[in-house]
Amino acid sequence: MKRVAALVVALALIGVTTWLVWPSAPEVRGQDQKITVVDGPADDQRVELDTTFFPPPDGGKAPVVLLAHGFGGSKQSMRDQAIRLAQEGYAVLTWSARGFGRSTGQIALNSPDYEVKDVKQLIDWLAERPEVQLDASGDPRVGIAGGSYGGAIALMTAAFDQRVDAIVPQITWSDLADALFPNAATTTQTTAQSTAQATTEAEAESGADSPAAPEAGAASGVFKRMWAGIFFGQGVSLDASSLLGPREAAGPLTPQQARCGRFLPEICDIYQDVAEDGRATQEAIALLRKSSPVTVADRIKAPTLLIQGQRDSLFPLSHADANAKAIAAAGTPVSLAWFDGGHDGGNGEADWLFEQSSAWFARYLKGEGSGAPPVSAFTVTRDGGRDPGTRQRIRLHPEAGSYPGLGGTDTTTVELAGPEQNIVNPPGGAPASISTVPGIGGLLGGQGNGGVSIDMPGQSAAFESRPLTAPLQLTGSPSITVRVTGEGEATLFAKLYDVAEGNQLPTLPAGLVAPVRVTIPEGAGSTEATIALPAVDHRFAVGHRLRLVVTTTDMGFATPAAPATYQVSLASPALTVPTVRTLAAAPTGVAWWVWAMPLASIVVAAVLLATGRTPARLRRRPVRASATEPASIPATLEPGVPNTTPASPPNGKPATPTATTPNGQSPDAASATGTAKDSPSDVAAVVNGSSAEAAPVTSVDTAVVASTDVPLEITGLTKAYRNGELAVDGLSFRVEKGQVLGLLGPNGAGKTTTMRMMMGLIHPDDGEIRIFGEPVTPGAPVLSRLGSFVEGPGFLPHLSGRDNIELYWAATGRPVADAHFDEALEIAGLGKALERAVRTYSQGMRQRLAIAQAMLGLPDLLVLDEPTNGLDPPQIREMREVLKRYARDGRTVIVSSHMLAEVEQTCSHVVVMQRGRLVSTGPVSQLLSSAAVADGHGPRLEDVFLDLIGDKA
């Protein structure tokens, strides 16, 4: 136990030391700077940007990363991320964009004339810093990362400044006009004439080549009024965190500020214009396109990791898709990740995003050799069920080697069914259906799948599939062709629900809807439109149905106020569902430790076992003799006495049958002689040993023999208690064959400890015990010649007495015939009680059964500890006879007892111990005769004993 405690303490010390010494992340100090830049279409506007520069913490030159904040944020929003990135060995610059935080200037929506020029000058400034690694003079090794508004500036800057070496734009737009005026419909052949009217100049300019790109474009798009309001308004910020802190702008607002906030007046004017009637004007589209990466993405040469949120109704996955296609078309490496987050909330996966960004920068800023894990071309975050330990949701990140686009690598066709249905647009557009409430999802940190979706009755048409027979993993943008009958322009919203059986509400994956605006040609009465449904990654389970719902309203969008009625039906029942076959969970393989750990542990186990083996007993062997060589003839040898042990060499090994004083044959000696016949070695002893005079117990010091015939020889035996006090202290004595030895001593003298050491149960600290010449070790085979009863009986309480005895014998593995059950059980004298469970026995019965167990197999040496405890006087008397007779058969008995009168009558020899030491030894008769006759009657052992232990009254 002490060792265990010491081990625990040592481990704890090691742990604490490691904790203290473990290199903590280097400290990063930011340097606040005001950097003045000049921008504007004519390069004549001075703007002071509030920046913080974080030099690489370990000194030297390092690549630099610009971290751009989102809309409504400032450089403070990026501080934690900047420190973390700097600790990875980068210089980092954060800044408040013009119009945000403490920077001056007005918001120009990442315009090439304003914000892009600002960032180019920040890169110029960085090129002068001594801490920044340069590719060439004036050209630092630089990357840009940021989310939303910050993501767009990363893309725009990379397009206009070729010095940028890598970018990680997150949850950002490709086409701001399309984001605010989306139209997911592609009207088909029957309405070809209507497309001319919808095609805009801007559309041609963008050259959008996505098959899902709305033919009609932003000009006919449905105004995403709630998001736009938040985007342009002062009331709510996109950056939820800025709502929590105190607003930086102080003081009452001027009328101009109240109207436009910190926007450039021309942007503000255009917004007010379009927001009024929900229609995109050409100026608005031109202005928004100017701030849209998709128009310039073909110029981007910096490797780009696009991270887009799956829960984003502002900039849905299709924006990353458009960006990726445009950038890849220029031959620039692009990777995409769809994570669990976005403007509508979700988990956010901040750590995973950081790892991905960090790996991207490591690869393209630090170089291939940086040991960063590769970033796959396409990664999707999926629900991985629950953690086996915490039962929390876990996320998997399956990867694909190439990005297949929103059309997937394969498509599955799901048949939808439903009649033509009438739907109405309510006057004023209220009440409106709800899919996602912008700005709320993020604030609530909604983890649910899409939150609340409500379709108003009478406003929606539903088409449903049969229950799925196999799970369907949708990855991308499904499409369906519907026929809309009515008049004029129809504004509709299409959503694809996952409908489970039973009481569960249908779920709208990611809470996304596809807004559709189609124009029904005059006179035709109807038109067909192919709708690109929102791009999502969603698994439809077996038994679930897919339900397409077409509604006339959605709370997030501007819908016409005029009442109208339409009929909606499926032009074709086939819903095309894209799937991505190549997406597979990262090939984990078998972790190395799976096979290494068990192997190592088996090696450790083998070492533990091998080193823990009891070392070969190199105890000091008595010099005088060894058990294997012929011993000299002992002084006590009586000539003519035959060997009692067949194994002894024929030249006359010592045979000293030292029997007790004959005390008269006991009437039931028949049993004893009967038993003796069974073992030939004992017959001789019985025949020849009867006349033997009591031989002295030879102390080892005077002994000349340690032979296989000496039943017990103890030499210098020492054992300390755990507290260091000696239980047995240098004990030496020797017992000869045929003796009944009484082991006497007061409580605590070390008698039981000595007996336990004889049985190999405890290890002596020093000295040695030999039984029949063999040293005693735990489990030494010679112990099979020892029968023992020490410190009470030990039986299995649930078994009967007979079962106990028989199973004990079976456990020794010796032949049943050698057991002599009958003799032993006769000694126990339990009669019918033998068949009862031992737990029902009295103390005396157990005692007798235990002595019987000790005598099983008639061992050559019998060790009994207080055998008469709990026996009644007749039983004591009988036990005395049994022991005497047992020894007379040439065997040896060692008895410890307190009952001195008992010892006096039973034993031929005694060993007196006190405090672990040998006090006296010798035949009982000698001991008694040495004592002075104190009073009238003859000497009693009691007097001698008390005298010896120095406790005589």
Partner 1 sequence: MTTATGYAPNRTLPLRVEIVRQFKRRRTLAMFGLLLALPWVLVIAFQIGPQSPGEEQSLRISDLATQSGLNFAAFALSVSASFLLVVAVALFCGDTVASEANWSSLRYLLAAPVPRDRLLRQKLIVALGFSAAAVICLPVMALLAGTLAFGWDDIQVPGTGEVIPALDVLPRFGIVIAYAMVSQLVVAALAFLISTMTDSPLGAVGGAVGLWIVCTILQAVEALGVLREFLPTFWNNAWLDALQPELDWSGMAKGASVSITYAAILIAIAFRRFRHKDVVS
Site for partner 1 in 701-740 (CB under 8 A): 708
Q: Measured between alpha carbons, how far is 57 from 39 in angstroms, rounded to an integer?
A: 32
Shortest spacing between CB 537 and partner 1, in angstroms: 16
Given the complex with partner 1, which of 243 and 604 has the nearer CB atom? 604
Rule CB under 8 A: choose which of 524, 810, 933, 934 binds partner 1: 810
Asked if the bond preceding 419 is cis, omega within 30° of 0, the reply is no
Rule CB under 8 A: choose which of 756, 802, 820, 891 binds partner 1: 756
Given the complex with partner 1, which of 591 and 623 has the nearer CB atom? 591
Q: Measured between alpha carbons, how far is 114 from 16 in angstroms, rounded to an integer?
A: 54
Contact 636, 698 (CB under 8 A): yes
Given the complex with partner 1, which of 624 and 798 has the nearer CB atom? 798
Instruction: Kindly write out the interface string for residues 168-207 of this chain, putting x where it contacts partner 1 by CB under 8 A and - elsewhere.
Output: ----------------------------------------
Rule CB under 8 A: choose which of 14, 605, 670, 901 binds partner 1: 605
Shortest spacing between CB 683 and partner 1, in angstroms: 15
Given the complex with partner 1, which of 43 and 629 has the nearer CB atom? 629
Shortest spacing between CB 100 and partner 1, in angstroms: 35
Closest CA to 53 of 12, 85, 25: 85
Q: Hey, what are 930's tokens?
A: 């040495």
Given the complex with partner 1, which of 170 and 507 has the nearer CB atom? 507
Instruction: Kindly write out the interface string for residues 449-478 of this chain, putting x where it contacts partner 1 by CB under 8 A and - elsewhere.
Output: ---------------------xx-------
Shortest spacing between CB 501 and partner 1, in angstroms: 4
Q: Does 2 bind partner 1 (CB under 8 A)?
A: no
Given the complex with partner 1, which of 53 and 540 has the nearer CB atom? 540
Rule CB under 8 A: choose which of 211, 445, 797, 938 binds partner 1: 797
Alpha-helical (H) ranges within 759-899 are: 801-812, 821-828, 843-855, 873-888
Q: Does 503 bind partner 1 (CB under 8 A)?
A: yes
Shortest spacing between CB 876 and partner 1, in angstroms: 23
Q: In the window 382-421, what residues touch partner 1 (CB under 8 A)?
A: 385, 387-390, 392
Shortest spacing between CB 64 and partner 1, in angstroms: 30
Closest CA to 423 of 590, 586, 593, 559: 559
| Window contacting partner 1 (CB under 8 A); options: 58-66, 367-375, 409-417, 642-650 | 642-650
Given the complex with partner 1, which of 275 and 790 has the nearer CB atom? 790
Q: Does 608 bind partner 1 (CB under 8 A)?
A: yes
| Window contacting partner 1 (CB under 8 A); options: 259-267, 269-277, 333-341, 587-595 | 587-595
Given the complex with partner 1, which of 523 and 815 has the nearer CB atom? 815
Q: Does 443 bind partner 1 (CB under 8 A)?
A: no
Q: Does 594 bind partner 1 (CB under 8 A)?
A: yes
Contacts of 745 (CB under 8 A, 6+ apart): 751, 896, 912, 913, 914, 919, 949
Contact 367, 141 (CB under 8 A): no
Q: Measured between alpha carbons, how far is 46 from 40 in angstroms, rounded to an integer?
A: 9
Closest CA to 328 of 300, 354, 350, 292: 300
Q: Does 18 bind partner 1 (CB under 8 A)?
A: no
Q: Hey, what are 584's tokens?
A: 């597979």
Residue 474 gets which letter from DSSP? E
Closest CA to 486 of 431, 528, 531, 514: 528
Give SS3 for 881.
Answer: helix
Shortest spacing between CB 824 and partner 1, in angstroms: 14
Shortest spacing between CB 854 and partner 1, in angstroms: 8
Rule CB under 8 A: choose which of 23, 246, 639, 646 binds partner 1: 646
Contacts of 805 (CB under 8 A, 6+ apart): 821, 824, 825, 849, 852, 853, 856
Q: Measured between alpha carbons, how far is 129 from 66 in angstroms, rounded to an integer?
A: 14
Q: What angle do CA 116, 296, 228 make, to 5 degrees?
A: 70
Rule CB under 8 A: choose which of 14, 796, 901, 934 binds partner 1: 796
Rule CB under 8 A: choose which of 331, 371, 457, 779 binds partner 1: 779
| Window contacting partner 1 (CB under 8 A); options: 57-65, 283-291, 548-556, 775-783 | 775-783
Given the complex with partner 1, which of 525 and 598 has the nearer CB atom? 598
Q: Does 667 bind partner 1 (CB under 8 A)?
A: no
Given the complex with partner 1, which of 430 and 796 has the nearer CB atom? 796
Rule CB under 8 A: choose which of 112, 857, 867, 923 binds partner 1: 857
Task: Give the number of residues in contact with partner 1, rule: CB under 8 A.
Answer: 83
Rule CB under 8 A: choose which of 487, 522, 791, 951 binds partner 1: 791
Given the complex with partner 1, which of 11 and 38 has the nearer CB atom? 11
Given the complex with partner 1, which of 470 and 616 has the nearer CB atom? 470
DSSP element (H, E) containing 81: helix 79-87
Contacts of 831 (CB under 8 A, 6+ apart): none
Q: Measured between alpha carbons, how far is 267 from 232 in angstroms, rounded to an integer?
A: 9
Shortest spacing between CB 24 and partner 1, in angstroms: 17
Q: Does 788 bind partner 1 (CB under 8 A)?
A: yes
| Window contacting partner 1 (CB under 8 A); options: 37-45, 288-296, 410-418, 851-859 | 851-859
Shortest spacing between CB 776 and partner 1, in angstroms: 10
Q: Does 616 bind partner 1 (CB under 8 A)?
A: no
Number of residues assigned to the chain: 953
Q: Does 640 bind partner 1 (CB under 8 A)?
A: no
Contacts of 802 (CB under 8 A, 6+ apart): 825, 834, 835
Task: Indicate if the alpha-carbon torsion angle 244, 249, 254, 258 is positive or negative.
Answer: negative
Contact 474, 594 (CB under 8 A): no
Residue with structure tokens 């819903």? 575
Q: Hey, what are 837's tokens?
A: 């469970």
Given the complex with partner 1, which of 565 and 840 has the nearer CB atom? 840
Q: In the window 33-62, what residues touch partner 1 (CB under 8 A)?
A: none
Rule CB under 8 A: choose which of 454, 500, 574, 919 binds partner 1: 500
3-state secondary structure 296-333: CHHHCCCCEEEEEECCCCCCCHHHHHHHHHHHHHCCCC
List residues bridging with 735 in a β-sheet. 712
Given the complex with partner 1, which of 118 and 349 has the nearer CB atom? 349
Alpha-helical (H) ranges within 128-281 are: 149-160, 176-180, 192-198, 201-206, 225-232, 240-244, 255-260, 265-277
Q: Does 759 bind partner 1 (CB under 8 A)?
A: yes
Shortest spacing between CB 778 and partner 1, in angstroms: 5
3-state secondary structure 543-608: CCEEEEEEECCCCCCCCCCCCEEEEEEECCCEEEEEECCCCECCCCCCCHHHHHHHHHHHHHHHHH
| Window contacting partner 1 (CB under 8 A); options: 254-262, 287-295, 455-463, 780-788 | 780-788
Contact 184, 170 (CB under 8 A): no
Shortest spacing between CB 442 and partner 1, in angstroms: 23
Contact 805, 787 (CB under 8 A): no
Sheet with 917-923, strands from edge to edge, namely: 786-789, 861-865, 892-896, 740-744, 909-914, 917-923
Q: Measured between alpha carbons, how far is 597 from 602 in angstroms, rounded to an integer?
A: 9
Shortest spacing between CB 660 and partner 1, in angstroms: 24
Rule CB under 8 A: choose which of 617, 624, 798, 952 binds partner 1: 798
Q: Measured between alpha carbons, how far is 587 from 937 in angstroms, rounded to an integer?
A: 98
Given the complex with partner 1, which of 564 and 726 has the nearer CB atom? 726
